[in-house]
Structure 1
Amino acid sequence: MKPYYWESHHGNFGDDLNLWLWDFLLPGFRDSHDDILLVGVGTVLNRALLPDGMRKLVLGSGFGYGTLPDMRDKAEWDVRCVRGPLTAEKVGIAPERGIIDPAVMVAEMPEFRNLPKIHKRSFVPHWESAIAGMWPTTCGTVGLHYIDPRGEAGAVIREIAQSELIVAESMHGAILADAFRVPWVAVSTSDSINSFKWNDWAQTVGVTYRPRHVPVSSRAEAMIKGTKFWGVGFDVAETDAEDPNRRQIDGGLVVDAAPPRQTFLRGAAKQFLAAPSTLALWQASRVAPQLSEDRVLAERKTRFREVLDTVRRDYL
């Protein structure tokens, strides 16, 4: 089998972990049935992303962007489980098969167990926010550790596991925090954050997605997201709503080549303009966090292991 994952041109740990997670969950799967695509972690049940004419084994994937593929052909689709009940309803399968996001199983891997806590509070933005936001500076101002979601997946996951609290705009930031039993707070900077996929996962572990609003931190970030910054609105240019990699999201960013003094003054001005974001992020890091119940998470992981057992029986 070949593992499928959506590869962001900028990097996104929640998708990139597909490169090695399945070797742990299904050892030897790469050597079996090279004509089958294993569709796992990610919001990838999207007509524009998955190839036609190839058998696909779906294990925990979600819907949330673009158009759902026609999955009625059983010769091409073997849907064992999906991320949650909302995706299950869209696909047309029983809600009980909306089990969990497979990323939670990362916490079972030996290399991520019993890691020491070294970060008091950490912030994991959405990858689009990380491209043009002032978040590293903002986090430094309010005493938060900044975790770049575009980093190497294993390193990002260790930073999450080594935190005592996670503020997450990234859905997989919250999913991994919950899996490692790290309390988390959800935030959102714009309507571009997909609430459908968050609620799809949240319902599986009995938590509620109620994100605190945090304003975008820069004009460039507002341009990427098509939202307002200090009352000025921006429209985002969509070239293809089906595939996020086809969106022109950073073509308008310009490297600052001004003299050092002007660069310093501009940096100070940007920090000042990011003050509402800084305050809102600080407030978010001080509210009561969420965490799913141990028994609920354990039950969902058990059900997912049972699905893996059927895959081993039928394919390996």
Structure 2
Amino acid sequence: MKPYYWESQHGNFGDDLNLWLWDFLLPGFRDVHDDILLVGVGTVLNRALLPDGVRKLVIGSGFGYGSLPDMRDAAEWDLRCVRGPLTAEKIGLAPERGIVDPAVMVADMPEFRNLPKLYKRSFIPHWESAIAGMWPVTCGTVGMHYIDPRGEAKSVIREIAQSEFIVAESMHGAILADAFRVPWVAVTTSDSINSFKWNDWAKTVGVEYRPRHVPVSSRTEAMIKGARFWGMGFEAQTVPEAANLRSADGEVIVAAREPRQTFLRSAAKQVLAAPSTLALWQATRAEPQLSSDSRLAERKERFQDALAAVRRAYF
């Protein structure tokens, strides 16, 4: 089998963990049925993403973007379970088939157990926010550890596990925090954050998605998201990897990865990011969430049952 995942050109740990998670959950899966695509972690049940004419084994994937593929052909689709009840309803499965996001199983991997706590409070933004936001500086201002979701997946996950409190715009930031029993608070910087997929997962572990609003931290970030920044609205733009974003008059505003800046320009941007800084600080004072031990354990047990059924059918 071959694992399928959505590959961001910028990097996104919540998708990239598919590269090694399934070797832990289904050892030897790469050596059997090389004609089958294993569709796992991610919001990838999308007609535009998954290839036709290939048999697909779906274990814990979710819907949330675009349109659903036609999954009626049992010869092409083996739907074992999906991320949550909202995805199950969308594709016509019984609600109990929406078990949980498979990423929760990362916490069972030996290399992530019993890690020391190194960070009092950490913030992990959505990868789109990380591209051009002032978040590393903003976090430093309020004494938070910044976790870049574009980093190497295992390193990102260790930083989550080694935190005592997580503020998450990244859904998998919250999922992993919950799996490692780290209290978390959800935030959002724009309407582009997909609440459907958050609620899909949240319902499986008995928590609520109630994000606190945090303003975008820079003009470039507002341009990427089509958000407002200091009263000015922007049309959403796409920023390729390592490309510069330009204003309407052609001025280069900022590179996608942090550019060299003068001290005065950097200081000015910090002042403009003050509303974001305040809102992020307030998020660290909010009441955090955490699913119950029993609910999480029950969902993981049901997911293990689904994996056992896959082993019996394919190994």
TM-score, normalised via structure 1 length: 0.94
Instruction: Read off the aligned partner of 2:304 and give its amino acid letter.
Output: R
Distance 2:52 2:298 in 1: 34
Percent identical among aligned pairs is: 82
Q: Secondary structure of the residue that 1:81 maps to in structure 2?
A: strand
Residue 156 of structure 1 corresponds to which residue in structure 2? 156
Residue 75 of structure 1 corresponds to which residue in structure 2? 75
CA shift for structure 1 position 265: 1.1
Q: Secondary structure of the residue that 1:186 maps to in structure 2?
A: strand
CA shift for structure 1 position 132: 0.2
Distance 1:262 1:104 in 2: 40
Distance 1:41 1:12 in 2: 12
CA shift for structure 1 position 248: 5.7
Residue 249 of structure 2 corresponds to which residue in structure 1? none
Instruction: Read off the aligned partner of 1:131 and give its amino acid letter.
Output: I
8 Å Cα contact 1:80-1:307 kept in structure 2: yes
Distance 1:216 1:275 in 2: 10
Instruction: Read off the aligned partner of 1:285 and give its amino acid letter.
Output: T
Q: How many equivalent residue pairs?
A: 305
Q: Secondary structure of the residue that 2:34 maps to in structure 1?
A: coil
Residue 311 of structure 2 corresponds to which residue in structure 1? 312
Q: Secondary structure of the residue that 1:252 maps to in structure 2?
A: strand
CA shift for structure 1 position 152: 0.2
Distance 2:190 2:212 in 1: 11
Q: Secondary structure of the residue that 1:163 maps to in structure 2?
A: coil
CA shift for structure 1 position 256: 6.2
Query: In the alignment, does 2:208 pair up with 1:208?
Result: yes
Instruction: Read off the aligned partner of 2:222 and give its amino acid letter.
Output: A
Instruction: Read off the aligned partner of 1:292 and give its amino acid letter.
Output: S
8 Å Cα contact 1:168-1:187 kept in structure 2: yes
Residue 50 of structure 1 corresponds to which residue in structure 2? 50
8 Å Cα contact 1:46-1:69 kept in structure 2: yes
Distance 1:55 1:21 in 2: 21
8 Å Cα contact 1:256-1:263 kept in structure 2: no
Distance 1:51 1:95 in 2: 26
- Once the two structures are superposed, the pairs formed by residues 18-33 of structure 1 within 5 Å of their partners are 18-33=18-33
Q: Structure 1 residues 235, 62: closer, same or farther in 2, change over 3 A?
A: same
Query: In the alignment, does 2:169 pair up with 1:178?
Result: no
| Structure 1 unaligned spans of 5+ | 239-246
Instruction: Read off the aligned partner of 1:252 and give its amino acid letter.
Output: L
CA shift for structure 1 position 43: 0.4
Residue 142 of structure 1 corresponds to which residue in structure 2? 142
Residue 278 of structure 1 corresponds to which residue in structure 2? 277
CA offset digits 1:37-66 (Å, max 9, x no partner): 000000000111100000000000000011
Q: Secondary structure of the residue that 1:6 maps to in structure 2?
A: coil
8 Å Cα contact 1:237-1:248 kept in structure 2: no
Residue 114 of structure 1 corresponds to which residue in structure 2? 114
CA offset digits 1:269-306 (Å, max 9, x no partner): 10000000000000001111000000000000000000
Q: Structure 1 residues 99, 256: closer, same or farther in 2, change over 3 A?
A: closer
- Once the two structures are superposed, the pairs formed by residues 124-273 of structure 1 within 5 Å of their partners are 124-237=124-237, 252=245, 254=252, 263-273=262-272
Distance 2:304 2:273 in 1: 45
CA shift for structure 1 position 251: 5.1
8 Å Cα contact 2:225-2:237 kept in structure 1: no
Distance 2:183 2:289 in 1: 5
CA RMSD across the alignment: 1.6
CA shift for structure 1 position 266: 1.0
8 Å Cα contact 1:164-1:182 kept in structure 2: yes
CA offset digits 1:143-186 (Å, max 9, x no partner): 00000000000000000000000000000000000000000000
